[in-house]
Amino acid sequence: MRKYPRAYSRWQLVTSEHGSMATGRWGEVTGARPRSADAGTSPRGLFPFLTPALTEPFATLSPGAHEGNDRKKHFGKNSPLCRPRPTALERPGLFRGPLLAAVGLGPPCPGGSRALLEPPSSLRPRTAGSGVTRAAEAAQQPASQTPERPGRRKRKSAWKNDACKPDIMMSIRQRKEIKTTDVSEDFPAQEENVKLENKLPSGRTNRRLWTILSFTIGGTIALCIGLLTSVYLATLHENDLWFSNIKEVEREISFRTECGLYYSYYKQMLQAPTLMQGFHGLIYDNKTESMRTINLLQRMNIYQEVFLSVLYRVLPIQKYLEPVYFYIYTLFGLQAIYVTALYITSWLLSGTWLSGLLAALWYVTNRIDTTRVEFTIPLRENWALPFFAIQIAAITYFLRPNLQPLSERLTLLAIFISTFLFSLTWQFNQFMMLMQALVLFILDSLDMLPAAKATWLYGIQITSLLLVCVLQFFNSMILGSLLISFNLSVLIARKLQKNLKTGSFLDRLGKLLLHLFVVLCLTLFLNNVIKKILNLKSDEHIFKFLKAKFGLGATRDFDANLYLCEEAFGLLPFNTFERLSYTLLFYAYIFVLSITVIAALVVAFHNLSDSTNQQSMDKMGKCTVNLKPETAYNLIHTILFGFLALSTMRMKYLWTSHMCVFASFGLCSPEIWGLLLKSVRLCNPKRICIMRYSVPILILLYLCYKFWPGMMDELSELREFYDPDTVELMNWINSNTPRKAVFAGSMQLLAGVKLCTGRTLTNHPHYEDNSLRERTKAVYQIYAKRSPEEVHALLRSFGTDYVILEDSICYERRHRRGCRLRDLLDIANGHMMDGPGENDPDLKPADHPRFCEEIKRNLPPYVAHFTRVFQNKTFHVYKLSRNK
């Protein structure tokens, strides 16, 4: 007899490592000595607690003796082992009897796991040359292939989904009072099993209540943090401008550059006698560009202004809320939706709303790099980014496996609506969605995303853009976008993708590279064909800018250099990196991004080098981050957003917002903390739980401690809008010029002229039209070295009556040499720049002095064509003569 250091109870079933009950092995109690090599080949080795009387029949079993009528021969006719296996409906409790459970004839084990032994397999002797029993073969099958009892709740292991799973032994005990000879027809164990079953619903109910409570608390915090962010931004706007106390003209002037242009159409719709006349004025507009009638709904993304104006006229709020407040409060309300969507995305990725709270607080404390809505309210990005954040949250949920059909349909509807609204409200939507399509393509090619889901998302992007194209009267810029060409190329290349083998990582990587090459070729071909057919040149300035940005094209193009200098003057991402390097967000983001990328590369390298070794794969799976589709989607998304932020200043607001989401997700992720603790051999579930909750809480406390005083000081600081020169200019134009007068000047100033006075313009800040860019360059010759006759002829060709010159542009000092507007004009005209410094060898001295400087001297050639009618410290207004 074998001796054990601890006595066994009569019915003690022991599982294998990880507490899993799907292996089908009989083991020993924790602390028992390991079995000998031959223990598993004899009935006593398999069932060490069975009495000799029960094990003797097993010794004479022949192959197949346990099946059919052979049971009667070996066990006796009246033995309970000879009865047929009861159905699921006939089983009254968790156990039909200890002996039946021991030999595998009973029902599954408590908690919904599969039976420990399959009766035919466990009793069948080993086949020749196999070396393992069929029970061991069943133990190697995936848990998903093991049958479970219908209606039984599945018990989740305490170690499931953790990054590390230490070896443990779990035992399930039956009542000690039951003996093997006491098993009768009535099953005395039924009463105890009924008690166990009665206890299970209470645990399920407790977990359900806890889930509901957590969801309620997290959702309430999400709504509160979104509303608080909206109120915070609105308060900053009020304190900075004293918006409630300044005059109406000052309020309108505060909408600088293109913001004033967009708001002017909202004002135009409200001032129209009827809605139909307002629509007609937008479709047949002849005041935005002189001597030209354009369709504003086609050229610009102003449907949001149209919708708000209609809503304001329909709702009974005119007596309680001014139009400008209705407009700005809508934008600040969208910021609440924006923060809530970021909160939900981080929550979906990490599984805890604490991550969403950290993301929202990071968004607020890094406001300078996440949003500029408080001082550029009507910008298109402030309308579009909230819908884009909703789309990312919906896609993150949609990429989860095993969604219910109803949830999947509702999620697809949310993705479509948010994608459509995002595309409708921003002219640069195609570039963000192109990044998104590229992410989907990578995941699809690496088989990390179901092909059906990827197809749905491609289709939603194309459908949304086409609907926007129809609403914008078939805008050629949309039809010629790279996004449509790319998505069509991906769908065309799908047939090739199905014919390739994708077994190993090397196959998937090869498929990705091959498809990327094919799709890029098809994309460029389709895009060039569409542009030639449509004669499209609307977006060529963007590609010129990108070429000049990375030194791939000519640097003397006026439009490209203008964009480059505006980027240099603005908050360039390099300045953003320098500022973020002093914040905790940047270090947390780099920390999470590095760990996730390194873990993904380790898995990829391991799959590439040894994809056939299953044992090594299992070991690698314990020490790496499991990249779920939604996690991989956001990982690649944030990397591509970073590259996009390097190219364009305004794209940094999209990237830094996603930084908050991804960094907070990583700090609350059990996989990442499990990987770190595993690397230092301190991994266990309790430590993982402590780290994933304690670190975010400490960061939240630190952020509150560091930024709360500064935020209170910022809210208590009161300022007032003050621009008397511009106010004086607008009042003079309203009082001393005809309503049909045409004004020329800088793009930024003319947008305010359109909003405050309603006069006709020669050019404006909406730069997405080739003919408008050429017109702007011609008007800007007033700051170049040109003769008065040339300038007068150019301005009169656009029907100009008055020209406004600004000293801030003519004597500009805020930009470095080479980026001043007069320098850009000199380079484009082939003239040498003013001031000390080097010039290109091919630049020549100009034949005439600078126009904006010489006209102030009232010399005869200038007085013959221009008459000064208004002057203050900043602006000079000249009336053009009718004669040439």
State pLDDT tens for residues 626-649.
Answer: 678 999 999 999 999 988 887 777
Structure tokens that stand for 425 in this block? 């409200």
pLDDT at position 305 is 96
Residue 98 amino acid letter: P
Cα Rg of the chain, angstroms: 37
pLDDT-based confidence at residue 545 (cuts at 50, 70, 90): low
DSSP code at position 490: H
Structure tokens that stand for 52 in this block? 């000799």
Query: Mean of the per-residue pLDDT values for the chain?
Result: 77
Residue 69 amino acid letter: N
Alpha carbons 392 and 465: distance in angstroms, whole number: 17
Highest mean pLDDT, choosing among 203-207, 619-623, 652-656, 739-743: 739-743
Alpha carbons 156 and 21: distance in angstroms, whole number: 11
pLDDT at position 98 is 41
DSSP alpha helix (H) spans, 177-316: 190-241, 248-253, 257-271, 275-283, 296-299, 303-314
Kindly tell me if the per-residue pLDDT of 129 is higher than 70: no
Distances (CA, A) of 604 to 399, 448, 775: 21, 13, 53
pLDDT at position 768 is 79
> String of b and e for 525-558 (b: at least 16 CB within 10 Å)?
ebbeebbeeeebebbebbebbeebbeeeeeebbb
- What percentage of the chain carries pLDDT values higher than 70? 68
Kindly tell me if the per-residue pLDDT of 619 is higher than 50: no
Alpha carbons 733 and 730: distance in angstroms, whole number: 5
CB contact set of 582 (below 8 Å; sequence gap of 6+):
none
Distances (CA, A) of 528 to 480, 482, 539, 648: 8, 10, 13, 24
Highest mean pLDDT, choosing among 416-425, 685-694, 823-832: 416-425
CB contact set of 437 (below 8 Å; sequence gap of 6+):
458, 461, 483, 486, 487, 490
Q: Are 101 and 95 in contact (CB under 8 A)?
A: yes
DSSP code at position 112: G
Answer with the residue of higher pLDDT: 739 or 36: 739
Kindly tell me if the per-residue pLDDT of 158 is higher than 60: no
pLDDT at position 733 is 96
pLDDT-based confidence at residue 494 (cuts at 50, 70, 90): confident
Highest mean pLDDT, choosing among 132-141, 573-582, 775-784, 809-818: 775-784
| Mean pLDDT to the nearest integer, 584-594 | 90
pLDDT at position 659 is 93
Highest mean pLDDT, choosing among 40-44, 471-475, 562-566: 471-475
pLDDT-based confidence at residue 118 (cuts at 50, 70, 90): very low
| Mean pLDDT to the nearest integer, 256-274 | 94
Kindly tell me if the per-residue pLDDT of 591 is higher than 70: yes
| Mean pLDDT to the nearest integer, 236-248 | 93
| Mean pLDDT to the nearest integer, 375-395 | 95
Residue with tokens 């001393």: 736
Residue 649 amino acid letter: M
pLDDT at position 842 is 84
pLDDT at position 566 is 66
Lowest mean pLDDT among 553-557, 707-711, 800-804, 835-839: 553-557
Kindly tell me if the per-residue pLDDT of 145 is higher than 80: no
Q: Are 540 and 560 in contact (CB under 8 A)?
A: no
Collapsing DSSP to helix, strand or coil, 714 comes out as helix
| Mean pLDDT to the nearest integer, 437-462 | 90
pLDDT at position 140 is 47
Alpha carbons 334 and 265: distance in angstroms, whole number: 20
- What percentage of the chain carries pLDDT values higher than 90? 46
Q: Tens of pLDDT along 41-68?
A: 444 444 444 444 444 444 444 444 444 4
Kindly tell me if the per-residue pLDDT of 547 is higher than 90: no
Cα distance between the two ends of the chain: 122
DSSP string covering 674-700: HHHHHHTT---HHHHHHHHHHHHHHHH
Alpha carbons 744 and 778: distance in angstroms, whole number: 11
Alpha carbons 386 and 395: distance in angstroms, whole number: 14
Distances (CA, A) of 46 to 2, 138, 340, 864: 13, 15, 57, 113
User: Taking the model in full, what pTM does it have?
Assistant: 0.75
pLDDT-based confidence at residue 324 (cuts at 50, 70, 90): very high
Answer with the residue of higher pLDDT: 344 or 604: 344
Highest mean pLDDT, choosing among 82-96, 147-161, 280-294: 280-294
DSSP string covering 796-821: HHTT-SEEEEEHHHHT--SSPTTTSH
Kindly tell me if the per-residue pLDDT of 355 is higher than 80: yes
Answer with the residue of higher pLDDT: 169 or 217: 217
Kindly tell me if the per-residue pLDDT of 103 is higher than 50: no
pLDDT at position 113 is 39
pLDDT at position 678 is 84
Kindly tell me if the per-residue pLDDT of 28 is higher than 80: no
